[in-house]
Each structure stands twice: as structure tokens, then as C-alpha cells.
């Protein structure tokens, strides 16, 4: 892997829209990624191993619960700072950002929002410091885009619940200390349960052979008559809206994160194109390469504006789920397209691990699928503007 020479593009002076705190948080995350992620990430991805050594650093830059109040160990930041942290982490690697997203939006957020005070105090500070790592179990082998069809279920056994079922494609599952699991009760209503590693009948086999998000551990959650203490049920929200509320928060982070991956690809391609000589001049001097680079910076700038505006709406408590869907869909698609174009700018070198582009490209193939696929987010926009669902 080449030394990390990343310089963040800011074509429209978007820094002028950020607060001093936003910039401070962003710069600290950027510096940490350069120092602690870039030197090890290529090897971690080649080895298909989540680099646990970075957990402490993630906690220190506020990546675990950026917007969770400080009294519970979170960083107490606004939504734009949260987005910027995700952008910087994903500039390093989407797999590392996935770990942070899951911990913050899919584990800490539901415990904070839907949990009681005891649950908040018991779990949030440990999750914020990285002492506990969490995962989020919604997807099942037969229920991906349609999680409402889930079959994982729990029965009331008087002094405890009995949980049965299985979840698939769960980020962080192989090493998570706790899992926030969505399951149906006897009336078919969806609830969130906190399942702890070590509970009898609970196992988390790892999913191997991924070409994407290789530096992020993915696995299953299997529940075979797992006894869950009653105090582990999240009491303050039930129904499909509960997990979907968490996904809103995670998708918002992804809309920002994807910009980071795109910026890294663009910056790498721009630098390479100025150095690589063919036909007696730098390839940056050829119109076709300039077209690629000019379109990249245009799309990045549009995505930055979209994410920033969505952050303002989130700060004001006004962002709708459909607005978040639009940003997630647009920005991930933008990043994937830029990764493919940037890879071509590097010619054969673009396929090697000496540069980050191919890793970003492969990672983004997961990012465009998880947290609602590209198609599903389009259907959400379609439903929002027409008032008619085209899901079924
Ligand atoms: C690396 C990785 C990590 C993940 N981490 C997690 C996690 O931590 N927790 C978790 O719960 N899940 C996780 N997921 C699962 C992810 O959210 C699902 O993969 C995603 O929701 C899509 O489900 P599916 O793969 O079953 O695809 P399917 O739902 O089977 O969809 C297949 C195709 O059909 C399309 N399709 C489906 N329904 C419709 C429709 N009504 N109209 C038109 N087209 C449709 C889809 O867009 C897609 O192109 C992860 C996935 C990956 C790849």
C-alpha cells in the first residue's frame, strides 16, 4: 500500500457551512484514519480480518455513539459531526465504517431510544468505549428486503422469554458481545431483545468467502431455545417502525460515508493521472481522463451538498425517512460509479492492493445492497411522491 497522501476535495468551499466543532471533529477523524487505519487496512482486507486493534481509536474519535448524550458515554455531537466522522472513516474503508455504524446507529441508538434507563446505563457507556461491541439482527435467510416477514420469534415463559430462529448477514456478529435482535412475539408483533454472548443456545458462526467488506466480520445469529431475561426486552417501541427507525440513522451515516470512499478514489485518480506519463505527457492532459475527473468532482460536490442539507434537516428533527433514502441511494451509487471510473484511470495499477480504489469498489457493492437495496430506496421515493406503494 502506498503512503496515504489524501487531500480532501472541497470544490464549493463547503467548509464554510460547517461549525468549528464540525471541523474539529472531522479533522481529528481524518488524522486518525491516516495514522491508524491506512497503514493496516489493505492487509486486513486481504486477510479478510476485522482489525480489532482499531476499536480503541474508533471510540476515541467519537465514532461509537457520536450523537448519544455524554451522560451515557456518547460524544453528544450534532448530526453533521456524526456524518463527517462516518465520511472520514469510510474514506479509509467501508468495512470499518460499517462496524462504527452498527455500533452507533443499530445498537446504541435502539438502546437509547427504545430502552429503559437501566438498559441505557448498563450498556451504553461500555458500547461507547468499545469495551462491548454490538451487532444488529434483522435480516433472515428468507427475509431480506421484506424484514416484516421475519420468522424469528419469542414466547413468554413466565419468568423469561424463549427465543428461536436465525439471522443472516449480520455485521460484527462473530465478535459481538451483545446483539440487538428483532423477533416476533406470540401475537406476531416485532420487538427488540438484547441477547448476550454466552447465553445457552446462542451462536454466531462467521460467513466466509466475501469479496466485499473483507475487513468487516459478517456472520449469522442462531437462536436455539435461548432463554432471555425479561429485562432484556426493549420496552419503549415495538412494530417494524422500531428497527426501521434505527435504519434511518444508519442510512444517514452511509450517505455521508459513501462520500468519503468517493473522495479517496477521486483524489487517488487525480494524483495518479498527473504523474503517469503516456504518449509523452501526463494522462491528466487527455480529454477523456479530464472528463472522468471533472465528472467525479461534480458528483462529489452534489453529494456533499445533499448530505449537508440532510444533516441540517436532521439537526432540526425534520428529515423524513424518504429524504434519507434518497441520499443513501444517490450517494452510494455515486461512489460506486466513481470507484469504477477511478479504477480505469489507474489502468492495470488500479486492480492492485497498492491503491485503495479496487477495495473501495468491492466494498461499495455491499453498501449499495445493505440498509435497503438501491432498488428498494427508489421504491421508497416512488411511494413518497405518488402515494402508491410498488413493493407488492
Ligand atoms: C456485508 C453485509 C453486511 C450486512 N449487515 C447486516 C446487519 O448487520 N444486520 C442486518 O440485519 N442485515 C445486514 N445485511 C443484510 C442486508 O440488509 C440485506 O442483504 C438487504 O436488506 C437485502 O436483502 P437480501 O440480500 O435478502 O436481498 P433480497 O431482498 O432477496 O433482494 C434481492 C434483489 O431483489 C430486489 N427486490 C426485493 N424486493 C423487491 C421489490 N419489492 N421490488 C423490486 N425489487 C425487489 C432487491 O432490490 C435486490 O436487488 C448485510 C448485508 C451484507 C451484504
Tell me how far the alpha carbon of residue 18 lies from the centroid of ligand 1, in angstroms: 34
Residue nearest to atom 16 of ligand 1 (CA): 370
Q: 61-80 pLDDT, tens per residue?
A: 999 999 999 999 999 999 99
> Cell for 165?
430462529
Residue after which a domain boundary falls, among 204, 232, 260: 232
Residue 363 Cβ < 6 Å to ligand 1:
no
Verify that 205 and 330 share a domain, yes or no. Answer: no
Residue 76 lies in a domain: yes
Nearest to 265 by CA among 187, 363, 156: 363
Residue 179's domain spans which residues?
Answer: 134-232
Whether residue 355 has its Cβ less than 6 Å from ligand 1: no
CA of 219 to the centre of ligand 1 (A): 15
In a shared domain, residues 98 and 140: no
One domain for residues 107 and 60 = yes
Q: Are residues 33 and 148 in the same domain?
A: no
Asked if residue 293 lies in contact with residue 270, where contact means CB atoms within 8 angstroms, the answer is yes
Catalytic (active-site) positions = 371
Q: Give the pLDDT score at 352.
A: 97
Does 170 contact ligand 1 (Cβ within 6 A)?
Answer: yes
CA of 136 to the centre of ligand 1 (A): 14
144 lines ligand 1 (CB under 6 A): yes
Percentage of residues in the chain having pLDDT higher than 70: 100
> Do the domain assignments include residue 7?
no
Q: What is the CATH number of the domain that holds 106?
A: 1.10.540.10
179 lines ligand 1 (CB under 6 A): no
CATH of the domain at 208: 2.40.110.10
Q: Which of 207, 232, 257 is the last residue of a domain?
A: 232
2: pLDDT strictly greater than 80: no
Is 377 found in the same domain as 248? yes
Q: Is residue 8 part of a domain?
A: no
Ligand 1 atom with the shortest distance to the CA of 391: 41
Q: Is any atom of ligand 1 closer than 6 Å to the C-beta of 391? A: yes
- Angle of CA points 332, 33, 44, to nearest 5°: 80
Looking at residue 1, what is its pLDDT? 66
Res. 146: pLDDT tops 90: yes
* pLDDT (tens digit per residue) in 221-233: 999 999 999 999 9
pLDDT of residue 42: 97
Instruction: Give percent of the chain with pLDDT exceeding 90.
Output: 99
User: Average pLDDT, stretch 237-259?
Assistant: 97
Query: For all residues of the chain together, what is the average pLDDT?
Result: 98
pLDDT level of residue 392 (50, 70, 90 thresholds): confident
Ligand 1 nearest-atom number relative to CA 138: 11
Report if residue 5 sits inside a domain. Answer: no
Pocket test of ligand 1: the residue of 97, 101, 139, 250 to mutate, having most ligand atoms within 8 Å of its CB, is 139
Same domain, 122 and 165: no
Q: Is 43 in the same domain as 139?
A: no
Q: C-alpha grid cell for residue 387?
A: 402515494
Question: Among 129, 158, 185, which residue terminates a domain?
Answer: 129
Do residue 143 and residue 227 come from a single domain?
yes
Q: Quick one: which atom of ligand 1 is closest to the CA of 137? A: 11
Label residue 145 by pLDDT band (50, 70, 90). very high
Asked if 262 and 157 sit in the same domain, the reply is no
The CATH number of the domain where 293 resides is what?
A: 1.20.140.10
- CB atoms under 10 Å from CB of 372, counted, come to 24
Considering the domain architecture, whether residues 208 and 324 belong to the same structural domain is answered as no
Instruction: Dig out the grid coordinates for 175 from the structure.
Output: 465478535
Cα three-residue angle 266-272-274, rounded to 5 degrees:
105
* pLDDT tens digit sequence for 168-216: 999 999 999 999 999 999 999 999 999 999 999 999 999 999 999 999 9
Q: What does the pLDDT read at residue 322?
A: 98
Number of domains in the chain: 3
Do 149 and 213 lie in one domain? The reply is: yes
| 64 falls within a domain | yes
Q: What counts of helices (H) and strands (E) characterise the chain? A: 12, 9
Q: Identify the pLDDT of residue 276.
A: 98
CA 249 to chain centre: 10
At residue 51, the pLDDT reads 97
| pLDDT surpasses 70 at 94 | yes
Measure 369 CA to ligand 1 centroid, in angstroms.
6
Residues 162 and 94 in one domain: no
CA dist., res. 259 & res. 308, Å (int):
11
Q: Is the minimum distance from the CB of 201 to ligand 1 under 6 angstroms?
A: no
Amino acid at each position: 500500500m502506498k503512503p496515504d497522501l489524501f487531500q480532501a476535495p472541497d470544490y464549493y468551499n463547503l467548509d464554510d457551512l460547517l461549525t468549528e466543532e464540525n471541523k474539529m471533529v472531522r479533522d481529528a477523524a481524518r488524522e486518525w484514519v491516516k495514522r491508524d487505519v491506512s497503514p493496516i487496512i489493505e492487509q486486513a482486507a486481504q486477510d479478510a480480518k476485522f482489525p480489532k486493534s482499531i476499536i480503541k481509536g474508533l471510540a476515541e474519535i467519537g465514532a461509537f455513539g457520536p450523537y448519544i448524550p455524554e451522560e451515557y458515554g456518547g460524544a453528544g455531537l450534532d448530526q453533521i459531526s456524526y456524518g463527517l466522522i462516518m465520511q472520514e472513516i469510510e474514506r479509509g474503508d467501508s468495512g470499518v465504517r460499517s462496524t462504527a455504524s452498527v455500533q452507533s446507529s443499530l445498537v446504541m441508538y435502539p438502546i437509547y431510544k427504545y430502552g429503559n434507563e437501566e438498559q441505557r446505563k448498563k450498556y451504553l457507556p461500555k458500547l461507547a468505549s468499545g469495551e462491548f461491541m454490538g451487532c444488529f439482527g434483522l435480516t433472515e435467510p428468507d427475509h431480506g428486503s421484506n424484514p416484516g416477514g421475519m420468522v424469528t420469534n419469542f414466547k413468554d415463559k413466565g419468568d423469561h422469554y424463549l427465543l428461536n430462529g436465525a439471522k443472516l448477514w449480520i455485521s460484527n456478529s462473530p465478535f459481538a458481545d451483545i446483539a440487538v435482535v428483532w423477533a416476533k412475539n406470540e401475537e406476531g408483533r416485532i420487538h427488540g431483545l438484547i441477547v448476550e454472548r454466552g447465553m445457552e443456545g446462542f451462536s454466531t458462526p462467521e460467513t466466509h468467502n466475501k469479496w466485499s467488506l473483507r475487513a468487516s466480520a459478517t456472520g449469522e445469529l442462531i437462536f436455539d431455545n435461548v432463554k432471555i431475561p425479561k429485562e432484556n426486552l426493549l420496552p419503549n417501541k415495538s412494530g417494524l417502525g422500531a428497527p426501521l427507525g434505527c435504519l434511518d440513522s444508519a442510512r444517514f451515516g452511509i450517505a455521508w460515508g459513501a462520500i468519503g470512499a468517493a473522495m479517496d478514489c477521486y483524489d487517488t485518480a487525480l494524483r495518479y493521472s498527473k504523474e503517469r506519463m503516456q504518449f509523452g505527457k501526463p494522462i491528466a492532459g487527455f480529454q477523456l481522463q479530464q472528463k472522468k475527473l471533472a465528472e467525479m468532482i461534480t458528483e462529489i460536490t452534489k453529494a456533499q451538498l445533499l448530505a449537508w442539507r440532510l444533516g441540517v434537516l436532521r439537526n432540526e428533527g425534520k428529515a423524513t425517512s424518504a429524504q434519507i433514502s434518497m441520499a443513501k441511494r444517490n450517494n452510494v451509487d455515486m461512489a460506486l460509479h466513481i470507484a469504477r471510473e477511478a479504477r480505469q484511470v489507474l489502468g492495470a495499477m488500479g486492480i492492485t492492493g497498492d491503491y485503495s480504489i479496487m477495495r473501495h469498489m468491492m466494498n461499495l457493492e455491499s453498501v449499495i445492497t445493505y440498509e435497503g437495496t438501491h432498488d428498494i430506496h427508489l421504491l421508497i421515493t416512488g411511494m413518497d411522491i405518488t402515494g402508491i406503494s410498488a413493493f407488492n
